[in-house]
Structure 1
Amino acid sequence: MSATRRQVLARTGALGAGIAFTGALSELFAGTAAAHSPGHSGYGPLVPDPDGLLDLPKGFRYRVLSREGDELRSGEGPVPSNHDGMAAFPARSSGRPGGVHLVRNHENRADGRVPVPTVEGLTYDPEGKGGCTALTLDSRGHVRDERVAIAGTAVNCAGGPTPWHTWLTCEETEDKAGTNGYTKDHGFIFEVDPADPRRTGAVPLTAMGRFQHEAIAVDPRRGVVYETEDAFERPFGLFYRFLPEKPLGGRGSLRAGGRLQAMRVPGVPDLSSIQETGAGFDGVQWVDVPDPLATGTPIRHQDFGRGGVTHAQKLEGCYWGGSSVYFVSSFARSAEGSAADHYGQIWRYDPERRRLTLVIVFGPDTDVQLPGESPDNICLAPSGGLMVCEDGNGAQHVYGVTRRGEVYAMARGAQNIGTPDEPEWGEFAGVTFSPDGDTMYVNCYTPGTTFAVTGPWRR
């Protein structure tokens, strides 16, 4: 991100005004079971950590599962840097249920600080520094294994889980072979089996497109995969759907190919032009991508015929809830080419009705600290609300958002990567919960640290 939300607010004179939600917040929790959300004060004030790693409310505690630079338990090399997107899956421990598989992205570019070690059979491009690592935890939450899950990829930012318990890791780049020393084209999605990475290997899912991928969500009934594109320059990114030849076919089925399509909202070339929550559009169309591999022209530059396709700046998060897919535009800036300015939008697409609705808009209305600066990764929480990772300047938090729209601080990073006079803290990423909802896992991007947080989540 070239500029933080706080910097944008300062330039527009809205720094004292901040960010607030408008719209039907309850939409975000569609399809989740009702639960008792924390009250107005959340779980209480954050307590400074005497060890200087992670501040949490009273009653909560953390365990460091993994740190950048430490040795992988597999002996394959050091734990890579730039911990990013992550997901948790059920596992068996000593033949008994209760364990957890964690799969974790490493958003390393060509100059990655600690690259993902190359491993035979799991490496796509020996010059790629990114990839994923997988951790196996036993029923007591102790790390039993940590190993490379895929290597030789690049800028592995986000992705998403599949209904068959694999992880789709996304490359947020479109560098081709010969760029930055790469020997192969990049910008693909790769499937990773956290239980046994060798069953998926390092095979790009080329039919799913080559572009600056951010996140995915799978329709668990139809098997359609939705994809967001976080393009940094005009024309901005697109919202895609992939129609697999073998929908819901299980591990490896996406290799069979399918059709990649881009969303067209008639009369709306740029989603930033829509500012009113609740605005809805029927008759959403899907247009076949002419060249999914972008062999000569990036997809968003390609000719989609009369009517074109719909673009949006900073398309990031994507998840499935109820009968719809939700996706996030983190911000839009007219000075950078968007049709209008906003501080964040969340959209809902209902495939049954072919209807797109603007659900939430972030705007300069209240305290800039809540729900934080530059919200990034999100996940549904067992409390019935959301957990939101902060990615910006100053102190970095994981914020909770209740079903009533109340925002509270859940965690604060305490690892100062700056100086005593000019402190700086790494962003949070990859927040996710164990299958039983008793543990929150979250990454600090820099220095790469993976935490397991336990406490009275269902209070």
Structure 2
Amino acid sequence: MQSGAAGFAVFAAGGLNAQANFTGVSGSAAEGSELLAAIARLNELGPLLPPDENGVRLPAGFRSRIVARSGQAPSNNSRVVWHPAPDGGAVFASADGGWVYASNSELRNAQGGVRALRFDSSGTVVDCYSILENTTSNCAGGATPWGTWLSCEEHEQGLVFECDPQQAGNGAARPLLGRFEHEAVAVDLINDQLYLTEDQRDGGFYRFTATRGLPDLSAGQLEIASVVQRGERHIVEWLPVPDPLASTTATRYQVAGSHAFRGGEGIAFHDGTIYFTTKRDNRVWSYHIASSELSIIYDIDTSDDPLLAGVDNVTVTPRGDVLVAEDGGDMQLVVLAPSQDGEQFDVIPLLQVVGHEASEITGPAFDPSYTRLYFSSQRGAEGSNEFGVTFEISKA
């Protein structure tokens, strides 16, 4: 394993919550490519060491620190305390050389929302503020190329809210993205489309096409996936959803022939492919946009190395390594690294939080330089929403 900033870039490269090549969101594609050009692949990092003082197991050469705890002010200048139940998140570059980590709060009964940690250019936490309030069960979401955070409500009548991470305020609902049990969203800027997952045992896989082009989400068509078999290939056909607001019938039941996925979770876009997870069957999927082909790249029941369980948040590095956070399982952040022939994926733990057995890993995202990784243990060592912990990983 290499040391220094480049060594950490192996661990962190492309760690965006939504899309690895967004300019201004956890660094640009060009920056990521430059960092990655001369360094080893993720599968050469090495084994995890025993847990550090914060209970985090890491490869040699890295360290952890706690940047926020639920119910506490992260800095002397914080306008609010850090929220309970931190969930999906992303990092956004700031004009002053610092960055902002936006994080959902998965509380029910209109107690959820999104809060933001602001870091200065040295990595010091200088503020904490709210960017969305009075929403319910904000689970994951997705960063956009235009610098906003899409926060997803995970309940039957849930909406997606668009938030500005750079300043305190409140987000705006984007109802045409559908009213259903949202989990996460990924953006395909080239085709003016968003892809969305639904956390139901028979949930849909959705696509939204912006008819006026992105970033305008005020007009467009929501569709749901149907899967047909052609020879040995599985092809997705997109069917219009008649009533995205589900005034009488849930979106997943409106279209005959739509495919039921077993608990849609995290989703990410990379190089013309959408990757997403389904938790009830512990699978990681890939959808190739140009060919419309759907494939399974990890299945716990058939994998030769079934180290990954409780699949949840997902992101993809510029090299095509798929990072998956565990909801429960062994409390790991795991990489699925493509083999040399591209036909298989090696399963490699990147970190593990020990002593948080009743929690889950949430919100993995990287700072603009790819030298710091942020994520949360949603319920902490105590196993309760009030004890969430947000970590930073950096080179030692």
The partner residue of 1:312 within 238, 261, 268 is 261
TM-superposed CA distance for 1:38, in Å, is 4.1
TM-superposed CA distance for 1:289, in Å, is 1.1
Which structure: larger Rg?
A: 1
AA matched with 2:86 = H
Worse-matched range after superposition: 429-438 or 205-214: 429-438
Alpha-carbon distance between aligned partners in 1 of 2:241 and 2:251, rounded to the nearest angstrom: 7
- Asked if the contact 1:171/1:188 (under 8 Å) is kept, the reply is yes
Alpha-carbon distance between aligned partners in 2 of 1:160 and 1:321, rounded to the nearest angstrom: 13
The partner residue of 2:67 within 65, 68, 92 is 65
TM-superposed CA distance for 1:356, in Å, is 2.0
Q: 1:322 to 1:92 in 2, by over 3 A?
A: same
Q: 1:279 to 1:83 in 2, by over 3 A?
A: farther
The partner residue of 1:221 within 177, 187, 190 is 190
Alpha-carbon distance between aligned partners in 1 of 2:270 and 2:198, rounded to the nearest angstrom: 20
2:193 is the alignment partner of 1:244:
no
The Cα offsets for residues 403-426 of structure 1, whole Å up to 9 and x where unpaired, read as 334333332223x46xxxxxx352
AA matched with 1:134 = A
Alpha-carbon distance between aligned partners in 2 of 1:309 and 1:366, rounded to the nearest angstrom: 27
Alpha-carbon distance between aligned partners in 1 of 2:173 and 2:317, rounded to the nearest angstrom: 31
Alpha-carbon distance between aligned partners in 1 of 2:338 and 2:204, rounded to the nearest angstrom: 29
- Asked if the contact 2:332/2:350 (under 8 Å) is kept, the reply is yes
The partner residue of 1:360 within 290, 297, 312 is 297
TM-superposed CA distance for 1:345, in Å, is 3.9
Match of 1:403 in 2: 338
Match of 1:230 in 2: 199
Alpha-carbon distance between aligned partners in 1 of 2:321 and 2:227, rounded to the nearest angstrom: 30
TM-superposed CA distance for 1:326, in Å, is 2.4
Match of 1:14 in 2: none
TM-score by length of 2: 0.80
Q: 1:195 to 1:52 in 2, by over 3 A?
A: closer
Match of 2:81 in 1: 78
2:273 is the alignment partner of 1:349:
no
**Unaligned residue ranges in structure 2 (runs of 5+):** 1-18, 22-28, 340-344, 381-387
Match of 1:323 in 2: 272
Alpha-carbon distance between aligned partners in 1 of 2:74 and 2:374, rounded to the nearest angstrom: 18
2:313 is the alignment partner of 1:377:
yes
TM-superposed CA distance for 1:398, in Å, is 2.0
AA matched with 1:291 = D
Question: The residue matched to 1:47 in structure 2 has which SS?
Answer: coil
TM-superposed CA distance for 1:402, in Å, is 3.2
- Asked if the contact 2:176/2:219 (under 8 Å) is kept, the reply is yes
TM-superposed CA distance for 1:190, in Å, is 0.2
Match of 1:258 in 2: 220
Question: The residue matched to 2:94 in structure 1 has which SS?
Answer: strand
Q: 1:197 to 1:265 in 2, by over 3 A?
A: farther
Match of 1:36 in 2: 40
2:177 is the alignment partner of 1:208:
yes
- Asked if the contact 2:366/2:374 (under 8 Å) is kept, the reply is yes
Match of 1:288 in 2: 240
Alpha-carbon distance between aligned partners in 1 of 2:350 and 2:59, rounded to the nearest angstrom: 7
- Asked if the contact 1:279/1:358 (under 8 Å) is kept, the reply is no
Count of aligned positions = 352
Alpha-carbon distance between aligned partners in 1 of 2:50 and 2:392, rounded to the nearest angstrom: 17
Q: 1:454 to 1:75 in 2, by over 3 A?
A: closer
Q: 1:362 to 1:314 in 2, by over 3 A?
A: same
More strand by share: 2
Match of 1:191 in 2: 162
AA matched with 1:280 = R
Q: 1:144 to 1:247 in 2, by over 3 A?
A: same
Alpha-carbon distance between aligned partners in 2 of 1:38 and 1:287, rounded to the nearest angstrom: 38
Alpha-carbon distance between aligned partners in 2 of 1:45 and 1:72, rounded to the nearest angstrom: 28
TM-superposed CA distance for 1:449, in Å, is 1.2
- Asked if the contact 1:107/1:155 (under 8 Å) is kept, the reply is yes
| Superposed counterparts of 1:110-125, under 5 Å | 110=109
The Cα offsets for residues 210-253 of structure 1, whole Å up to 9 and x where unpaired, read as 00011111112122111111114xxx11111112233223xxx3
- Asked if the contact 2:276/2:314 (under 8 Å) is kept, the reply is no
AA matched with 1:376 = D
AA matched with 1:149 = I
Match of 1:163 in 2: 145
The Cα offsets for residues 139-175 of structure 1, whole Å up to 9 and x where unpaired, read as 111111111110111111111111111111101102x
TM-superposed CA distance for 1:319, in Å, is 1.1
TM-score by length of 1: 0.70
Match of 2:249 in 1: 297
Alpha-carbon distance between aligned partners in 2 of 1:411 and 1:47, rounded to the nearest angstrom: 11
Q: 1:260 to 1:401 in 2, by over 3 A?
A: closer
Question: The residue matched to 2:82 in structure 1 has which SS?
Answer: coil
Alpha-carbon distance between aligned partners in 2 of 1:82 and 1:279, rounded to the nearest angstrom: 42
The root-mean-square deviation of aligned C-alpha atoms, in Å, is 2.8
Match of 1:12 in 2: none
- Asked if the contact 1:36/1:383 (under 8 Å) is kept, the reply is no
The Cα offsets for residues 92-130 of structure 1, whole Å up to 9 and x where unpaired, read as 33xxx3x111110111123xxxxxxxxxxxxxxxxx011
Question: The residue matched to 1:294 in structure 2 has which SS?
Answer: coil
2:127 is the alignment partner of 1:145:
yes
The partner residue of 1:433 within 348, 363, 366 is 366
